[in-house]
Chain A
Amino acid sequence: MTYFPEEVVEHIVDFLGSHGDRNAVSTVCKAWYQVDRLSRRSVFVGNCYAIRPERVVTRFPEMKSLTVKGKPHFADFNLVPYDWGGFAQPWIEAAARGCPGLEELRLKRMVITDDDLELLSCSFPNFKSLVLVSCEGFSTDGLAEIATYCRGLRELDLQENEVEDHGHQWLSCFPDSCTSLVSLNFACLKGEVNASALERLVARCPNLRSLKLNHSIPVESLNKILARAPHLVDLGTGSFTIDNRSETYHRLINSFFRCKSLRSLSGFWDASPFCLQAVYPICANLTVLNLSYAPAIQSADLTKLVGFCFKLQKLWVLDCIGDKGLVVVASTCKELQELRVFPSDVYGAGITAVTEEGLVAISSGCPKLNSLLYFCYQMTNAALTTVAKNCPHFTRFRLCILEPEKPDPVTNQPLDEGFGAIVRSCKNLRRLSVSGLLTDQVFLYIGMYAERLEMLSIAFAGDSDKGMVYVLNGCKNLRKLEIRDCPFGDAALLKDVAKYETMRSLWMSSCDVTLGGCKSLAAKMPRLNVEIINENDGTSESKENLSDQHKLVLCQQFTSVSNDIMFTSNDPDVCRRVRL
């Protein structure tokens, strides 16, 4: 081969954005492996147990940004016991030893403690950005460490974490010399935050562009903050309860009016309907609107608000917007790309306000729609077929019919044909969640047509092993498969074991897989990490009350969500944990 200077290769490789591409480059030859390894700045670990932290740090010594994902997706829905793992500690420790130049850490669904945060704050002098999504295990004390010791911090983004409240002092720990903040998001904090310290912080950070408050920040504070930071692009309001027609309210309207750069709005904790009027001045500029934390706002007010947002690209709402509201969205928001409709009345036996009609309206009015998460009580094949025809650009399509195994109410048929239409039409579909009454047929369709599919979520669906086999055989790009409560057993699991080495993860719970099947799989594929979660939920009632081992196991099978099986495909340097 002609001599090709490594500097040139490096230069070229630097243009490669995606991790997949860089991974591919590194497999070409030893020289290219070295080039990639020494020049990679951003490292993505999709499964924290797939590879040892030390190995990552050794391989990429110039790493500046590290992203690690921990628990499986179904942990969001309490299907994974708390002590399952996903600990950030080994990663932070390894990075502290091997990559002191680290600037950014992004963790998702991991357990990170205050001690970890303390270590983090002291180990990386150039640390700039901490993003924690759906994490837990830490408190506001840990945040205080970050605030105190991370000089030059630019981003502290806490999204939907479980944070223990140990007081409001943490915000005051940002030193007066801290002027570098660009993004601050503490919306998920449950406790009080020192509003005046926040106002001072905002005042001294001229580069602040994204600020998301929690419910404890009152509107008076919001006014002051907006006055200090009119260049905000992304705002999550605090508590949005205001007295009718008070001065505060008028000032709020003015504040918003001055925020010409504001493009994204969220929060609206405890929002009452008329408060939304304060937002009208900026609706025309909004591209992102998240009203999904405001259950008190009903359809009429939502509709009115959205009616002004004709540049909207991303909308998250509760289903109280209703089909009628969605019709208004469809006629107003022609730029809409992402829509999420969450259920507002989860516990009631009541009627949700959105049906298939709303979805059809959206699909016909918003041709750019490519990402959907839609909770509803019913869906018809006809509607899905129409949606598929109207919106062939879906990359993410998640439909959750709240009642498991519910058929098409008009025809009483399973929804196989509807979802079949979706996968046939949407050639770029990367993520799919199915629901309602479904037979093996839908999986045949998915296997046949969903060529680009990377993530599939299945619940209460299918008739037999064939369903799962269709999917494993057909979806060449499948990376993540999560299944719960389906009649797939060992035969399906073991049909094509080599497939799992091309995937990141498989989750099966409450299916028909047996312990023997899993052991067989582990034996056949020693490089796979096969785990069985024997859920005890940490509440060891059964351990306390039952001394007989035999009974313990038996009891657990009935009480727990059954043996959960999750395994990961991995690198040669694998940490194998088999937990039984």
Chain B
Amino acid sequence: MDRLPRAPTAAYNPPTPPDALNRDLASSSSDPTSPPGTRVQEAAGGRSSSTFELAMEEGLENRGGACPQLLDLIPNESDWMMAPEASGGGRGVGGLDDSEDKKLELRLGLPGGGGGEEESAVLSLGFFSMASKTTTAAAAAIATCSGARRGLFESAEFTKSEGPQQEQQRQQGGFLQLQSRAESGDGWPHKAVLQQSHAAPGGAAAPNTSSQTRAAPAPVVGWPPIRSFRKNLSSSSVKPSVELENDNIEMKQKFDNNKKGLLVKINMDGIPIGRKVDLKAYDNYEKLSLAVKELFLGLLAAQKDTPQNENEEAKQAFVGLLDGSGEYTLVYEDNEGDKMLVGGVPWDVFVSTVKRLRVLKSSDLTALHLGAAVSRKRTATESLS
């Protein structure tokens, strides 16, 4: 039976809270030679990890037999990686070779430095082996012991810089995220921590986030604890033009938008479940249209309850989304609450004013709705001038 080397218990330490690590890094410049354990231990103020350790050891002892099985899971990542991306442009990281795979697994989770791969190996395998049984909650619980810590867990210790592709992998899920993040770039621990400390106060944003909220985020879900409409207040409030020029408004909105990933809800007529799409991932309407199709194709086909070959029919539904010629049309709601056809304004303006998207049946588009929006915009502009 293959058993992986067990790390001495003492070497295991729970992921540090980002701030602790931050302080730690700030106070002592990064010292890759020092064992990760000690530094973390100090910084964390001796955070008790007894629960962790117990669970970990259990996992290792009882599930030794599961380890090979577990390893099987990981190569299957090629399936995972190849899975179609929700946002357009994602590419599978299929180019990983085996040694990379190993590196990826081993890289998981121990904060505090690139060293100590052995411990990381044990740690990660422990996680997975626990998860392979029904104690999925345990894996979840341990792996995600805190939103902030989880963020660090994912982002820490990968010493390559993160390319744009990798970001798009993140939305595939935390697991994939961990895999792909291993390809991240140099200076990563610092970068990760800096991001984390950026993210933590901000709560919902990190400079480079493009992942959907469902993927375990570096920004913490549901933090700070304020209602969503309050989060959007500053960025969406329209400054009166007597005080700001229109350019400034746009610029400020763009700037605000750049600080966070631009996730908007999108619903499609006839489909009860909505989706979210990150507009930062695209730079033109064509790509958006493609992405919309990707998002809803499966759901629409399932809805119609059609056999395989009628997927074509479902695909057809998405032709002509932008020009009104197709079965469905893409519309959006802007920051003034008006419903607008997608494609009427330059992409940048669209991104800075869009609040949510809808895929409407073209037959439902009434001139009335859009006309009302147009006339209100007119009066609004007039009253501002």
Interface of A with B (CB < 8 Å)?
A: 74, 76-79, 134, 160, 165, 167, 188, 190-192, 216, 218, 241, 243-244, 269-270, 272, 292-296, 342-349, 375, 377, 400, 402-407, 412, 414, 433, 437, 439, 457, 459-460, 463-465, 484-487, 489, 491, 510-518, 532, 537-542, 544-546, 548, 550-551, 553-563
Contacts and interface: CB of A to CB of B under 8 A. Distances in A.
Given A487-B51, A558-B178, A559-B214, A404 B143 contact: no
Contacts of A272: 239-240, 242-243
Given A342-B226, A347-B231, A515 B220 contact: no
Nearest to B369: A167
A346 B226 contact: yes
B256 A510 contact: no
Contacts of A532: 137
B239 A518 contact: no
A561 B221 contact: yes
Contacts of A558: 140, 143-144, 173-175, 177-178, 216
28 contacts: A76-B227, A79-B221, A190-B337, A216-B337, A218-B383, A296-B240, A346-B202, A347-B234, A349-B198, A403-B200, A404-B18, A404-B147, A460-B146, A464-B51, A485-B149, A489-B141, A511-B141, A512-B145, A513-B141, A514-B137, A514-B141, A537-B214, A539-B275, A544-B84, A546-B79, A550-B132, A554-B136, A561-B147
Interface of A is mostly: loop
Given A558-B178, A560-B214, A487 B73 contact: no
B137 A516 contact: yes
Given A540-B273, A541-B171, A562 B51 contact: no
B189 interface: no
B274 A538 contact: yes
B13 to A, nearest CB: 13
Contacts of A294: 237
B118 interface: no
Interface residues of B, number: 97
Contacts of B220: 404, 485
Interface in B177-211: 177-178, 197-198, 200-205
A239 to B, nearest CB: 9
Given A347-B231, A437-B19, A192 B376 contact: yes
Contact of B242 (A243, A342, A377, A405): A243
Contact of A404 (B132, B141, B148, B235): B148
Contacts of B248: none
Interface stretch (B4-12, B42-50, B98-106, B313-321): B42-50
B134 interface: yes
Interface of B: 14, 17-20, 23, 45, 47-48, 50-52, 73, 76, 79-80, 83-84, 86, 128, 131-132, 134-150, 171-178, 197-198, 200-205, 212-216, 220-231, 233-235, 237-240, 242-243, 256, 259-260, 273-276, 298-299, 333, 337, 369, 372, 376, 383-384
Contacts of B14: 487
Nearest to B256: A347
A510 B144 contact: yes
Nearest to A491: B51
Indicate the member of A433, A439, A485, A557 with the most B CB atoms within 10 Å.
A557
Contacts of B141: 489, 510-514, 562-563
Contact of A515 (B137, B171, B215, B222): B137
A296 B198 CA distance: 24
A540 B300 CA distance: 13
Given A296-B237, A537-B213, A404 B276 contact: no
A513 B136 CA distance: 10
A406 B243 CA distance: 38
A555 B175 contact: yes
Contacts of A295: 233-234, 237
Given A511-B141, A515-B134, A293 B223 contact: no
A347 B86 contact: no
A400 B234 contact: no
A539 B51 contact: no
Given A347-B259, A464-B48, A542 B337 contact: no
Contacts of B275: 539
Contacts of A269: 237
Given A78-B222, A405-B20, A485 B83 contact: no
Indicate the member of A78, A414, A457 with the most B CB atoms within 10 Å.
A78
B258 to A, nearest CB: 10
B234 A346 contact: yes
A465 B50 CA distance: 10
Contact of A514 (B17, B47, B135, B369): B135
A512 B233 contact: no
Given A272-B242, A403-B19, A514-B138, A293 B150 contact: no
Contacts of B47: 463, 487
Closest 9 CB pairs of A and B: A558-B174, A545-B83, A77-B222, A557-B140, A515-B137, A485-B146, A562-B140, A559-B173, A464-B48
Indicate the member of A403, A433, A491, A544 with the most B CB atoms within 10 Å.
A403
Given A402-B201, A405-B20, A485-B146, A74 B138 contact: no
Contacts of B84: 544-545
B201 A559 contact: no
Given A559-B216, A560-B214, A77 B201 contact: no
Given A541-B172, A557-B139, 15 more contacts: A77-B226, A192-B337, A218-B383, A244-B242, A296-B237, A296-B240, A405-B19, A407-B19, A459-B223, A510-B147, A512-B138, A537-B213, A557-B144, A557-B174, A561-B221
Contacts of A457: 225
Given A160-B227, A218-B383, A346-B226, A403 B201 contact: yes
B143 A541 contact: no
A338 to B, nearest CB: 17
B31 to A, nearest CB: 20
Indicate the member of B17, B197, B230 with the most A CB atoms within 10 Å.
B230
B279 to A, nearest CB: 15
A144 to B, nearest CB: 16
Indicate the member of B138, B239, B275 with the most A CB atoms within 10 Å.
B138
Nearest to A461: B146
B86 A541 contact: yes
A203 to B, nearest CB: 23
Contacts of A550: 73, 132
Indicate the member of A347, A405, A512, A563 with the most B CB atoms within 10 Å.
A347
B214 A563 contact: no
B203 to A, nearest CB: 6
A556 B80 CA distance: 13
A537 B141 CA distance: 18
Given A74-B222, A272-B242, A346-B231, A512 B51 contact: yes
A537 B222 CA distance: 14
Nearest to A511: B141
Nearest to B224: A402
B66 to A, nearest CB: 12
Nearest to A77: B222
A218 B384 CA distance: 11
B337 A342 contact: no
Contacts of B221: 77-79, 561
Contacts of B276: 539
Contacts of B197: 403
B175 A554 contact: yes
B259 A404 contact: no
Nearest to B147: A485
B131 A554 contact: yes
A188 B45 CA distance: 45
Given A218-B383, A559-B215, A562-B140, A346 B204 contact: yes
